[in-house]
Amino acid sequence: MPLLVYLNIMIGTGLIVILIGIDYARRYNTDPFQRFLFLIVLGGTFFAVLFDFAHHFLAGRPGGAVNAALYAVLTLFLAAQNITYYVMVVFIDYFAYQDKKRSQIILRILSVLLVLYAVALAANLKYGFFFYIPEANLYTVGKLYLLRLFISYFPLAVGIVDIAVSANRFKPSQFYCLVFFGALTSTGATLDIILRSGSVTWPCFAAALLYQYFFIIRGESKLDTLTGIGNRYSFNEFAAKLSRSGSKEPYSIAMIDMDRFKKINDTLGHLEGDNALRDMASIIKGHIRKTDFAARYGGDEFILAARTEDGIEKLLERIREAMDNQNRMNKRPYKLEMSYGWDVYDPASGQPMKDFLAHIDSLMYQHKAEKKKHAR
């Protein structure tokens, strides 16, 4: 492939990566661990593209200095490529499971493999078992070329298999995103193996990163920045889907209000008030099921939705018990308490969602009033 074609490929790929990186780095409300992983992937991609272009720029030019430079840029390219692929596996795992401890364990394991790979690349400079550069200064595969491919792509294959096996754990939108990403990455890896060059893989990988980034941004627009739970926009989207004429499945929907939240703010300050909201959201997130929906509706109000057959009363009881357990541990200078109202929303009834929400809101205030009456 002519050098100018490679240059166009690399400039296009590099610009995509740079623009994603600039925009993502400016976002303050992102998950810190997810942000850390994704920025490493972007950085690894950028340097891999840079070193790959340097290799094609130098290839075939005469001179001992060029030979040494080719060894250097190809070694750095392979290192950056593997860092990118390995950290991408961890990112996808965290994106799918949202389990930081699990992803950190995977990251530690892959970090050890990356260190061993770096040692092997250093040894390759002397022994040429992965690749070597003859006097013509052209990249030539070594005897262990297939082993190098295995080291690079085996974690990606494991990640794709893991996603396929665990498909029932993901939301459909998450699963389709991961499948699309895996398909693009696999296409790039296949081209790398067939053409024995990483150059054609990067447009595929950049396209996969761009798609993943759009999915991240779309997801973040539906999250409450303080608590990490769904926001009012996400509930409005959920309600719109539920209210469509084609939807016939009734849902039990509950409105939850935190008792004495104003007192926490007034006596302990807004920072403790924020902690109370985060604690409440964490308890809710820890007890909802895959089929349930939860969001911070506004202020100290949260909203839950569960399929009627699953029983929202049991879900509310589990949340209340978790609050009682936290209160007994005295980790905060306040007690978490809640009032709620719930009822069954049937899309087939034609009732406007705003009227239904007003109904369960009034039930919630009735519950709050009854608690105050019994407390006297």
**What pLDDT sits at residue 247?**
57
**What pLDDT sits at residue 364?**
92
Taking CA 280 as the corner, what is the angle to CA 274 and CA 283, rounded to the nearest 5 degrees?
140
pLDDT at 31 over 80: no
User: Of 339, 302, 337, nearest to 323 (Cα)?
Assistant: 337
Average pLDDT over residues 113-136: 94
pLDDT at 10 over 80: no
Positive or negative, the CA dihedral 326, 231, 293, 214 is negative
**What pLDDT sits at residue 122?**
96
pLDDT at 114 over 90: yes
The mean pLDDT value of the chain amounts to 84
Positive or negative, the CA dihedral 144, 145, 147, 151 is positive
Q: Which of 55-64, 105-114, 139-148, 191-200 has the lowest mean pLDDT?
A: 191-200
In the chain, CATH 1.20.1070.10 covers: 3-220
**What pLDDT sits at residue 57?**
86
80, with CB counted inside 10 A (0-12, 13-18, 19+), is buried
More confident residue, 128 or 15: 128
More confident residue, 185 or 71: 71
Residues in contact with 100: Cβ distance below 8 Å, sequence separation at least 6, in sequence order? 33, 94
pLDDT at 316 over 80: yes
* Order of strands across the sheet that contains 293-298: 293-298, 301-307, 251-258, 338-345
> What's the CATH superfamily of 3-220?
Rhodopsin 7-helix transmembrane proteins (1.20.1070.10)
Q: Which of 72-86, 174-188, 238-252, 341-355 has the lowest mean pLDDT?
A: 174-188
| DSSP code for 345 | E
More confident residue, 174 or 86: 86
Report the distance separating Cα 151 and Cα 145, nearest Å.
10
- Alpha carbon dihedral 19, 21, 23, 29, in 10-degree steps, equals 170
**What pLDDT sits at residue 200?**
63
**C-alpha radius of gyration, the chain, whole number:** 27
Average pLDDT over residues 290-302: 89
Task: Identify the band that residue 16 occupies on the pLDDT scale cut at 50, 70 and 90.
Answer: confident
Task: Identify the band that residue 196 occupies on the pLDDT scale cut at 50, 70 and 90.
Answer: low
More confident residue, 190 or 41: 41
What phi-psi label fits residue 61: left (phi over 0), alpha (psi between -120 and 50 degrees) or beta?
beta
What's the CATH number for 232-375?
3.30.70.270
More confident residue, 366 or 35: 366
Task: Identify the band that residue 376 occupies on the pLDDT scale cut at 50, 70 and 90.
Answer: low
Share of the chain above pLDDT 90, in %: 34
Residues in contact with 338: Cβ distance below 8 Å, sequence separation at least 6, in sequence order? 256, 257, 258, 259, 280, 319, 320, 323
Report the distance separating Cα 373 and Cα 6, nearest Å.
76
More confident residue, 96 or 259: 259
Average pLDDT over residues 54-72: 90
Task: Identify the band that residue 276 occupies on the pLDDT scale cut at 50, 70 and 90.
Answer: very high
In the chain, CATH 3.30.70.270 covers: 232-375
Report the distance separating Cα 128 and Cα 102, nearest Å.
36
Summarize pLDDT for 261-271 with one digit per residue, the tens. 989 988 989 89
**What pLDDT sits at residue 244?**
66
Task: Report yes or no: 142 and 129 within 8 Å, Cβ to Cβ.
Answer: yes
Share of the chain above pLDDT 70, in %: 85
Report the distance separating Cα 352 and Cα 359, nearest Å.
11
**What pLDDT sits at residue 5?**
63
Collapse the DSSP code of 351 into the 3-class scheme (helix H, G, I; strand E, B; otherwise coil) and give the result: coil
Task: Report yes or no: 206 and 181 within 8 Å, Cβ to Cβ.
Answer: no
pLDDT at 148 over 80: yes
Q: Which of 72-81, 105-114, 121-130, 217-226 has the lowest mean pLDDT?
A: 217-226
Task: Report yes or no: 255 and 303 within 8 Å, Cβ to Cβ.
Answer: yes
Average pLDDT over residues 153-177: 71
Q: Tell me the β-bridge partners of 132.
A: 140
pLDDT at 164 over 70: yes
**What pLDDT sits at residue 131?**
93
| DSSP code for 168 | G
